[in-house]
Amino acid sequence: MRKPFVAGNWKMNTDGHGAVKLAEEVVAGCGETAGHKVDVAVCPPFVYLQQVGKALHSSHIALGAQDVYFEQKGAFTGEISAAMLKDTGCTYVICGHSERRHVIGETDELINKKVKAALAGGLLPILCVGELLEQRKANKTTDVVTRQMKEGLAGFSAEKVEAVTIAYEPVWAIGTGLTATPEQAQEVHALIRGLLTEMYGKKLSNEIRIQYGGSVKPDNAGELMGQEDIDGLLVGGASLKADDFAAIVKAAV
Ligand code: 13P
In the predicted structure, residue 77 carries a pLDDT above the cut 90: yes
* Contact criterion met (CB below 8 Å) for 209 and 162: no
Which among 215, 217, 244 is the best mutation to test ligand 1's pocket, defined by most ligand atoms within 8 Å of the CB?
215
Question: Closest ligand 1 atom, CA of 99?
Answer: 8
Q: Quick check: CB of 121 below 6 Å from ligand 1? A: no
Question: Closest ligand 1 atom, CA of 176?
Answer: 4
Q: Quick check: CB of 44 below 6 Å from ligand 1? A: no
Among 35, 63, 34, CA closest to 51: 63
* Contact criterion met (CB below 8 Å) for 203 and 193: no
| pLDDT at res. 36 | 87
Side-chain-side CA neighbours of residue 193 (13 Å) = 21
In the predicted structure, residue 2 carries a pLDDT above the cut 90: yes
**Rounded Cα–Cα distance for residues 207 and 204 (Å):** 5
| pLDDT at res. 165 | 98
In the predicted structure, residue 58 carries a pLDDT above the cut 90: no
13 Cα: distance to centroid of ligand 1 (angstroms) = 12
Residue 164 DSSP code: -
- Of the given ranges (11-25, 108-122, 172-186), which has the lowest mean pLDDT? 172-186
Mean pLDDT of the chain: 97
149-184: pLDDT as tens digits: 999 999 999 999 999 999 999 999 998 888 899 999
Q: Quick check: CB of 178 below 6 Å from ligand 1? A: no
